[in-house]
Amino acid sequence: MTSDANVTRMRLDGAVQHRAGQQFLAGKGYAGEAFPRVHRVEPHGFTSHPVAGGIATVIGARGNRDSLYALGGANPGLVPVLPQGGTAIYDHLGNIVSLVMTELRIVHASRIHLVAPEIILEGEIKLGGPGASRPASAQGTVDTGGFADVTNPATKVWME
């Protein structure tokens, strides 16, 4: 790695080790060199488990092959196509949380589970799809306690 300023790339083989809060990857360089244990740099508050076929940039500290650091590791075949300015968190199964323009979109294969002592939703809620227009609760509806629905937030919930 001396002729390229100690920077190269490697194709990940899928081997990922977690040791003492650090992540180490393995793979092959584009010149055929083997990288059995490269420390992957991750920012605070975020972690991911790269899959085989990912491509990482490898940097050698002080030209020492025992001090290699990997940046990135995305598999080009799994990266979602986004418009300019878009952001996404995704996995290898097609699940995605994306921020595009003025919309936050969550797509998951089977279930979305929100857990918190209190969940606050503000705004109109559309159950069943974007065309929902039938109120789930209408003002004046009398509940089982004999009270009329006057200010119930459910008047902002629409169903198909």
pLDDT tens, position by position, 42-88: 989 989 999 999 999 999 887 666 789 999 999 999 999 999 999 99
Q: Could you tell me the domains of the chain?
A: 7-74 (2.40.50), 80-113 (no CATH), 118-160 (no CATH)
Express as a percent the part of the chain with pLDDT over 90: 49
User: From its phi and psi, is residue 29 left (phi > 0), alpha (psi between -120 and 50) or beta?
Assistant: beta
Residue 79 CB contacts under 8 Å (≥ 6 apart), including other chains: 90
The answer to whether the CB of 35 falls within 8 A of the CB of 58 is yes
Query: Looking at per-residue confidence, does 139 or 97 come out higher?
Result: 97
What is the pLDDT of the chain when averaged over all its residues? 86
Separation of alpha carbons 50 and 91, rounded Å: 9
Between the CA of residue 30 and those of 25, 55, 121, what are the distances in Å? 16, 10, 49
DSSP state at residue 74: E
